Amino acid sequence: MKISRKKITSEFVKKVQELSGENVYACYQCGKCSAGCPLVEHMDILPHTIIRLIQIGSKDEILESKTVWLCSTCLQCMAKCPKGVDVAKIMDTLREILKREGVDKAELKKIADKMWKKLPQQALVVRFRKCSQ
Ligand code: SF4
Ligand code: SF4
């Protein structure tokens, strides 16, 4: 991973901070957000690493990651963060930015008809939220 001044001061980092209202540089990588995340075993990039990637402007890696789309906005990470960084809000923002660029992995249409009645309501609400931001 190449770190450069150009990437760190990129529009991407500014946009994430502007849209989320969060200061990503407040994160000092303690990892408590990842330790408390119930979905971490399914993620390819841990939540605290997503924050680090934003700090260094590494948009492409975030773009390719499953993590942003797996996050269920359960807010566990926010509750654990000693610096008050709202990781869930940042995940919401990242989805929003990606969708504006035509990337949408929420894929509501891929839920099979027979699954609609079986899925827990909470799972559907979360999926709809990802589609409607
Ligand atoms: S909001 Fe997302 S990243 Fe945070 S703990 Fe929940 S699933 Fe994990
Ligand atoms: S808990 Fe907060 S400070 Fe710690 S790694 Fe996560 S976002 Fe950063």
Atom number, ligand 1, closest to the C-alpha of residue 75: 1
Specify whether the CB–CB gap between 27 and 55 falls below 8 A. Answer: yes
User: Residue 22: nearest ligand to its CA?
Assistant: 2
* Amino acid code (one letter) for 11: E
Residue 124 has a pLDDT of: 65
Is the pLDDT at 133 greater than 60? The verdict is no
Helices 47-55 and 11-20 sit at what angle, rounded to 10 degrees? 120
DSSP annotation string for 12-72: HHHHHHHHH---GGG-----HHHHH-TTGGG-SS-HHHHHHHHHTT-HHHHHH-SHHHH--
Is the pLDDT at 132 greater than 70? The verdict is no
pTM of the predicted structure, to 2 decimals: 0.83
Write down all domains in the chain, each with its CATH number in brackets: 5-105 (1.10.1060.10)
What is the maximum alpha-carbon separation in the chain?
A: 50
pLDDT tens-digit series, residues 18-28: 999 999 999 99
Atom number, ligand 1, closest to the C-alpha of residue 47: 3
Residue 127 has a pLDDT of: 66
Averaged pLDDT score across all residues of the chain: 86
Is the pLDDT at 68 greater than 80? The verdict is yes
User: Residue 48: nearest ligand to its CA?
Assistant: 2
Atom number, ligand 2, closest to the C-alpha of residue 31: 5
